[in-house]
Structure 1
Amino acid sequence: MQSLHPVSRETLRRLEVFVGLFEKWSRSINLAAPSTLPHIWERHILDSAQIFALNPGPKAWLDIGSGGGFPGIVTAVLLCEQGAGHVDLVESNQKKAAFLRRALAETGGRGAVHAIRIEQAQKTLSGFDAVSARAVADLDMVLGYCSSWLEEGATAYFHKGRDYRREIDKARRSWSFDLVEHTSIVDADSVILQISKPVRT
């Protein structure tokens, strides 16, 4: 696997277990766009791993709209090398939540799955260092979902595609926030938006 930093054989084995499980479950439930499945290592695993590389170490992560496990399960696996840290994965779809629980069990990833809506998670989950979201909503909406955790001091890492500039401009009409743009190592037209200190204006 092309990688952002060397990973142990054990971590690579865990990721291989996850990919095998993902491919198996994808035959019966929609975990990702079918066109991306032949390129899962680059389009999903490496794309997810770059989030962790921006904020490595044994942190408390929240991943919302976890879906097929990107980046939440990948982060949970990478935390195994740290021997500490944890990911809370929020996914309201019961079938996808079942897949995520199975993925954590078979990879030994450091995480837990919450089969609840994001609105409920806002009331019951707290104390995070970092929040991730991939393909959940546009930036304005996802900031609304995550603002309570960011106000507590968490930093957000959001995958965004080539239309990210329009999303930033739209969000700026309703929010002020600190922003760092990281060009994706997988797609030069995509970015990771690192956001902190949001204030609704």
Structure 2
Amino acid sequence: MQESLLFDLIGLRVSRETLERLRHFAELFEKWSRTINLVAASTQSDMWTRHIADSAQIFALSPEPKQWVDLGSGGGFPGVITAILLAEAGAGWVHLVESNHKKAGFLRVALSETGARGSVHACRIEEAHRQIQHCDAISARALAVLDVLFDFAAPWVERNPDLHCFFHKGRDYQTEVDKAHGRWSFDLLQHQSAIETDSVILEIARLTRKI
């Protein structure tokens, strides 16, 4: 599918300049993937649908410029995509947290060469809240079960109770939601993915720990 049509599918209009930034990111990704395992090899051939457009759905749900923390950024999904989309607005920022130093090196190059609005924190997620004092939103994709993600998010939620989390999840997400309710109270808004029929984006608000 044509790149611009993919963004129409998720209800997001992007400029020609933003598309060029995304294309350059895709080229960098392909180059670095020859030596670093950034994503599963089986999904790399479908980069624009499976990764770029799928990641952009989070930005489409909350496009106002804000301070983001992207947990376990890996190959840049969704963090770098969000940071590229923010460049068009000239406001907002993405803090990408990635403990693997080779992947962190790729992320820094990708942000720099695309002019994206973000920075990389090469540290463990559990330590990131000491480097990043405040955020308005948290994102993560294919990282951990919901209960663990809530533990990761908790330090920022304590500083900003109005914070929203956006987590990509697959078909078994309801099991994770049910388990998380054992330790947490939260408001949940489920967004069906326009890219993957079996996937959702869970928007979490008013997160508080029960025990």
Count matched residues: 201
Provide Cα deviations, 1:144-184, integer angstroms capped at 9, x if missing partner: 00012123131100000111011101111111101100001
Which 4+ residue blocks in structure 1 deviate beyond 3 angstroms? none
Q: Report matched runs for 1:166-181 at 5 Å.
A: 166-181=175-190
Whether 2:160 is the aligned partner of 1:154: answer: no
Whether 2:139 is the aligned partner of 1:132: answer: yes
Whether 2:14 is the aligned partner of 1:12: answer: no
Q: Percent identity?
A: 58
Normalising by structure 1, we get a TM-score of 0.98
Provide Cα deviations, 1:118-144, integer angstroms capped at 9, x if missing partner: 111122212211110111110000100
Tell me if the contact between 1:182 and 1:194 (Cα under 8 Å) persists in the aligned partners. Answer: yes
2:196 corresponding residue in structure 1: 187
Root-mean-square deviation (CA, aligned residues, Å) is 0.9
Q: Report matched runs for 1:1-201 at 5 Å.
A: 1=3, 2-3=6-7, 4=10, 5-151=12-158, 152=160, 153-201=162-210
Which sits farther off after the overlay, 21-30 or 121-130?
Answer: 121-130
Write the distance in 2 (CA, Å) between the matches of 1:124 and 1:8.
33
Write the distance in 1 (CA, Å) between the matches of 2:148 and 2:66.
25
How far the C-alpha of 1:97 sits from its partner, in A, is 0.1
Local SS of the residue matching 1:62: strand
Write the distance in 2 (CA, Å) between the matches of 1:40 and 1:150.
32
How far the C-alpha of 1:6 sits from its partner, in A, is 1.9
Query: Residue 6 of structure 1 aligns to which amino acid in structure 2?
Result: R
Tell me if the contact between 1:150 and 1:156 (Cα under 8 Å) persists in the aligned partners. Answer: no
Provide Cα deviations, 1:57-95, integer angstroms capped at 9, x if missing partner: 211111010000000000000001111111000000000
Query: Residue 139 of structure 1 aligns to which amino acid in structure 2?
Result: L
